[in-house]
Structure 1
Amino acid sequence: MEKAILGLDIGGTSIKGGVLVKGHLEDIRSVPTPAMESKEYILETIATFIDSYSAYDFVGIGIGIPGLVDSREGIVLGLANIPSFQHVELKKFLTGRFSKPVFVNNDANCFAIGVHKYGVGKPYKNLVGITLGTGVGGGIVINGHLYSGMFSAAGEWCSAPYLEHNYEYYCSGKFFHNVYKSKPKALAKQALAGDPQAIQAFDEFGRHLGELLKMIMYGLAPEAIVLGGSIRKTFPLFKKSLFKTLETFAYPTVLQNLKILISELDETAIHGAVALVDTEKDMVEV
């Protein structure tokens, strides 16, 4: 795509943006999210932020949201950690303000289509993207197209019951915080220095994540599963226990052909938001 596309990642802490120009993401910026302000105030903050990119003459706006979204109508049904941002007609508001196409989806879904369109997932038509951070997010690409499900809720394996809690409790930063009273980054440093308890923490984490990936494989049997989020950077620390757990999967042929990949994109949320616009263009022109 020759023309620019604007991508936004709207979260409870910050609103982050970037522009895709000739296949490259550039001009990454962010502003604090006024999370405790009114819906109207937050909408104006988003619009002002978008205005700051007006020099690019972008052809469309893609937005990733950590919550449920009516992607067809562009309505944010709920946004994590922002009390006032419930049932917000974001697409209608921004289309009226900027007269550009606007696409809104769940941020984990954005991650999946982003790595498929621009990252290590390019060679695969059927993949699952899993973000490992404060929580766990999941997105599904089937036959080269994002599958969002109703209200962009497809891939929400994080909430499925597992052991005493759910998968998010054991497969995200919450596991390290709740069980080991530490943050993943701090524990990673300790593990690399040879601390037995820190090494054990990542060993356990890998086993739990392996069980999550097995559940995904039983349901979808994707060609690839791409891991993203901040915890992906500690992959060498939990790789062994992860693959050992995957060896217990019931269908060896499926497992042997599955690719477990680590996303190389640092701005995956923005890449994914941009992909919502770029992919829609591709779908229309086919």
Structure 2
Amino acid sequence: MTNAGDVLAADIGGTNLRLARVQAGGHIVQEVRVQTQFSQLSGLSSEAAAQAIVNTISQAAKPLLDVNIIGLGIGFPGFFMGDSGILASSPNIPQLHNFKLAESLSQQLSMPVFAQNDALCAAIGEQSFGAGKGMNNLLHITLGTGIGGGLILNNQPYTGESGMAMEFGHLRVEHDDDARLCGCGHHGCVEAYASATAISTRYAEISGEKLETKVVFERAMQGNKEAKAIIESAGTYLGRAIAEAIKLLDIHTVTISGGLIGAWDMLHPSMMNALNAQLIPPQQNKVRILPSALKDNAGLLGASSLIKYRV
């Protein structure tokens, strides 16, 4: 039995779609998971790709809908124009430009729909229900295949003027001529050194074995020196990037979500050491870096809060 005023939330990735019915207080009462082909839409026309996205989300949502649902919040990978629900662009589906995602779904489902960047949704979720609860200012970092970031300033999500604020994964942490190439086309980005993809790649270069990141973690926890060194190095690079953000923003709470926090005991000390080494003296030892308290639900619960924030 659910209460009037439940919200439907969607957390969307390239190959998976999670939908949940969420009650006040962030209580998930029903959830579905659907495999998607969004990562394979790049070969379609912009119109066909947009329609495929709308159809997939609406079909997945319908079993969870009834008269008590007051709206749908969506976390989607890409850049949104403020609180308009318009997807300006998405790195994984490059032909999409100025796609009216929220409006299209609202028409299809006959209900209010709000959409925002998935990493910003994770920040909202962590500030509303997780390790950042009660913080007026929060930097949230998502560690996965890539690295994303979301920012809460003065108790409000911050998107920037064109929806591209907190592209944390593309802060530069190496400036040498041989700095690693990032997927964005530039060299030296933290994503090229500390993402799950980067950890797997760097281990393969050292060991000759191409392993999934979770296997690299397991080896590190079993005492494998190469694996442990790579994970600790990832923590160092993350700490450097966090320091650059803190010098700009002067906020004291950072939360991190994603599969990589499974190696927290190895990541955290190197992050903190690098962070404090790079901060200016008055900022040192004042910043907390916390693992997510929501596991993989930060983005989903943040999406459910979009109706409250209207962003």
Q: TM-score, normalised by structure 2?
A: 0.84
Q: Which amino acid aligns with 1:176?
A: I
- Does residue 189 in structure 1 map to residue 218 in structure 2? yes
Q: Which amino acid aligns with 1:202?
A: I
CA–CA distance in 2 between the matches of 1:146 and 1:53? Answer: 27
Match of 1:3 in 2: 5
- Does residue 176 in structure 1 map to residue 199 in structure 2? yes
CA–CA distance in 2 between the matches of 1:227 and 1:56? Answer: 36
Match of 1:45 in 2: 56
* Between 213-222 and 85-94, the greater mean CA deviation after superposition: 85-94
- Does residue 117 in structure 1 map to residue 134 in structure 2? no
Percent identity over the alignment? 29
Q: Which amino acid aligns with 1:191?
A: A
CA–CA distance in 2 between the matches of 1:199 and 1:174? Answer: 16
Change (3 A) 1:250 1:162: closer
CA–CA distance in 1 between the matches of 2:9 and 2:140? Answer: 19
Query: Is the 8 Å Cα contact of residues 80 and 88 (structure 2) preserved in structure 1?
Result: yes
Secondary structure of the corresponding residue to residue 257 of structure 1: coil
Match of 2:164 in 1: 153
Secondary structure of the corresponding residue to residue 261 of structure 1: strand
- Does residue 235 in structure 1 map to residue 246 in structure 2? no
C-alpha distance after superposition, 1:137-180 (max 9, x if no partner)? 01110111101113321100222333212111112112212211
C-alpha distance after superposition, 1:91-145 (max 9, x if no partner)? 2112222332221111111111110011110121111000011111011101111
CA–CA distance in 2 between the matches of 1:11 and 1:256? Answer: 35
Q: Which amino acid aligns with 1:15?
A: L
Q: How does 1:60-75 map to 2 (within 5 A)?
A: 60-75=71-86
Superposition CA RMSD, Å: 2.0
Q: Which amino acid aligns with 2:66?
A: A
* Between 76-85 and 231-240, the greater mean CA deviation after superposition: 76-85
Change (3 A) 1:22 1:59: same
Query: Is the 8 Å Cα contact of residues 4 and 56 (structure 1) preserved in structure 2?
Result: no
Change (3 A) 1:16 1:77: same
C-alpha distance after superposition, 1:184-227 (max 9, x if no partner)? 21111111111111111112111111101111111111120001
Query: Is the 8 Å Cα contact of residues 12 and 82 (structure 1) preserved in structure 2?
Result: no
Match of 1:245 among 249, 266, 274: 274
CA–CA distance in 2 between the matches of 1:26 and 1:108? Answer: 23
Shift of 1:81: 3.0
Q: Which runs of 5+ in 2 are unaligned?
A: 180-186, 205-210
Match of 2:103 in 1: 92
- Does residue 210 in structure 1 map to residue 239 in structure 2? yes
Query: Is the 8 Å Cα contact of residues 149 and 168 (structure 2) preserved in structure 1?
Result: yes
Task: Give the total of aligned pairs.
Answer: 281
Shift of 1:270: 0.7
Q: Which amino acid aligns with 2:201?
A: N
Q: Which amino acid aligns with 1:179?
A: R
Match of 2:154 among 143, 146, 152: 143
Change (3 A) 1:204 1:216: same
Q: Which runs of 5+ in 1 are unaligned?
A: none
Query: Is the 8 Å Cα contact of residues 61 and 274 (structure 1) preserved in structure 2?
Result: yes
Q: Which amino acid aligns with 1:174?
A: T
- Does residue 275 in structure 1 map to residue 305 in structure 2? yes
CA–CA distance in 2 between the matches of 1:250 and 1:72? Answer: 33
Shift of 1:242: 1.5
CA–CA distance in 2 between the matches of 1:20 and 1:243? Answer: 35
Change (3 A) 1:43 1:139: same
Secondary structure of the corresponding residue to residue 242 of structure 1: helix
